[in-house]
Chains A and B, each alone.
Chain A
Amino acid sequence: MTDRAFAVVRAGALTTVQDQGRPGHAHLGVPRSGALDPAAARLANRLVGNPSDAAVLETTLNGCSVRPRCAVTVAVVGAPCPVTVDGRPVAWGAPVRVPAGALLDVGAAVSGVRCYVAFGGGVSVDPVLASRSTDLLSGLGPPPLADGAVIPLGHAAAPHARVDTVPHPAPPRELILRVTSGPRADWFTASALRTLTTRAYRVSSASNRIGLRTEGPSLERAFTDELPSEGMVLGAVQVPPDGRPVVFLADHPTTGGYPVIAVVREADLAGAAQAVPGTPVRFVPAGRR
Chain B
Amino acid sequence: MRVLPVGDLALLVELADGDEAQALHAELLRRRAAGLIRVREIVPAARTVLLDGLDDPGRVGAELAALEIPPLSARDEDVREIPVRYDGPDLADVAAHWGVPVTEVARIHSAAEFRVAFCGFAPGFGYLTGLPEHHEVPRRATPRTSVPAGSVALAGPYTGMYPRSSPGGWQLIGTTDAVLWDHARVPAALLTPGVRVRFVPMPSAPTHSGAPLSEAR
Contact = CB atoms under 8 A, between A and B. Distances in A.
Interface string B18-57: 0000000000000000000000111111111110110000
A254 interface: yes
Contact of A229 (B7, B8, B46): B46
B6 A236 contact: yes
Q: Is the interface of B mostly helix, strand, loop or mixed?
A: strand
Contact of A260 (B6, B44, B46, B120): B6
A270 to B, nearest CB: 16
B123 A140 contact: yes
Interface in A103-161: 128-129, 138-140
B53 A27 contact: no
Given A29-B122, A181-B5, A140 B45 contact: no
A172 interface: no
Contacts, number: 108
B164 interface: yes
Which of A26, A231, A260 has the most C-beta atoms of chain B within 10 angstroms of its own C-beta?
A: A231
B102 interface: no
Contact of B41 (A23, A128, A181): A23
A230 B8 contact: no
Given A229-B118, A233-B10, A138 B123 contact: yes
A138, A183, A253: residue with the most chain B Cβ atoms closer than 10 Å: A183
A235 B192 CA distance: 25
Interface residues of B, number: 37
Interface residues of A, number: 35
Interface string A259-273: 010011110000000
Contacts of B72: none
Interface string A82-110: 00000000000000000000000000000
Tell me what chain A mostly uses at the interface: helix, strand, loop, or mixed: loop
A253 B123 CA distance: 10
A27 B50 CA distance: 9
Interface in B41-91: 41-50, 52-53
Given A129-B183, A265-B8, A28 B47 contact: no
B60 to A, nearest CB: 15
B103 to A, nearest CB: 32
A26 B10 CA distance: 13
A282 B201 CA distance: 55
B48 to A, nearest CB: 4
A285 interface: no
A239 interface: no
B5 A230 contact: no
A30 B46 CA distance: 17
A228 interface: yes
B10 to A, nearest CB: 5
A254 B44 CA distance: 10
Given A180-B5, A231-B41, 5 more contacts: A27-B192, A140-B183, A180-B7, A230-B12, A232-B50
Interface of B: 4-10, 12, 40-50, 52-53, 118-125, 127, 164, 183, 187-189, 192-193
8 contacts: A26-B52, A27-B42, A138-B123, A183-B5, A183-B12, A231-B43, A235-B7, A289-B8
Interface of A: 23-30, 128-129, 138-140, 180-184, 228-233, 235-236, 253-255, 260, 263-266, 289
Top 7 closest pairs, chain A to chain B, by CB = A231-B50, A263-B7, A228-B46, A231-B43, A255-B120, A183-B4, A29-B119
